[in-house]
Amino acid sequence: MKMKKNNLKLLCCLIALCAAQSLLAQNNEKKIVLNGDLQAFIPNGYVVMDTAQGDLNQDQKGDLLLALKRKDESKTAEAEGEAPTRPLILLLRQNDNTWKQALRNDKILPCLLCGGMMGDPYQRLVVNRGFFTVESMGGSREVWQRYITFKYVSTEQKWVLHRLDEEWHDRITNKKGKKSKRDKDFGKVFLDDFDADKF
């Protein structure tokens, strides 16, 4: 009986911690303002949630990833019980220093409600010499982390899914696990067609 009470207390503390983390995430949203030439790539009704800069197509220029969300994302999610998708826009720096949109994918970024009790699962974008990774985290008692990595293939002039990595940790039992899949496991998947829900 004593063990059951202790487990119940631990579970209550865990729920309170998750709620606090969710509230903290909502109150610490980034406010990003883009230059005028970049603002032209933001669709009406959207704002920039995050950015990451680096050489995305191995041409020695600083390219840009934009993670977007709807301005009314929170209200829509609360009213409909389903969060709108979040576009990822990939911009390439041109020789004349202007920007060109290479593609847009609406199915790679996690939605506002996709993290469970821990709130918004989106963590960050990372760019590294032709590779980029979308990092996310969510869960409740069992916390999970996911890393989706694409690489630029010059012969295709496209970004191809390179690897998927997942980790999880049970915060009560302290059990941990992880798994990884490489391109040889899922074949050639282009960023244009990628849907995170199918992997």
**What is the structure's pLDDT at 35?**
73
Percent residues over pLDDT 90 in the chain: 81
Residue 21: exposed, middle, or buried by beta-carbon count in 10 A (0-12, 13-18, 19+)? middle
pLDDT band at 12 (very low <50, low <70, confident <90, very high): very low
Residue 22 vs residue 152, higher pLDDT: 152
Q: Under 8 Å CB-to-CB from 72, ≥6 apart: which residues? A: 45
Return the structure tokens found at 27.
């109150």
Is the predicted pLDDT of residue 2 greater than 70, yes or no? no
Please answer whether residues 160 and 190 qualify as being in contact, where contact means their C-beta atoms are separated by less than 8 angstroms.
Answer: yes
Neighbour count for residue 180 (Cβ, 10 Å): 11
Rounded average pLDDT over 125-143 = 97
pLDDT at 85 over 70: yes
Strands, sheet with 176-182, edge to edge from the N-terminal-most edge strand: 122-128, 131-139, 142-153, 158-170, 176-182
- The model's confidence at residue 30, banded by pLDDT at 50, 70 and 90, is low
Phi-psi region at 79: left, alpha or beta (left = phi > 0; alpha = psi -120 to 50): alpha
The CA distance from 71 to 153, in Å, is 34
Mean pLDDT (the chain, rounded): 88
Q: Do you know the residue count of the chain?
A: 199
For the chain, the domains span: 2-198
pTM for this model (two decimals): 0.84
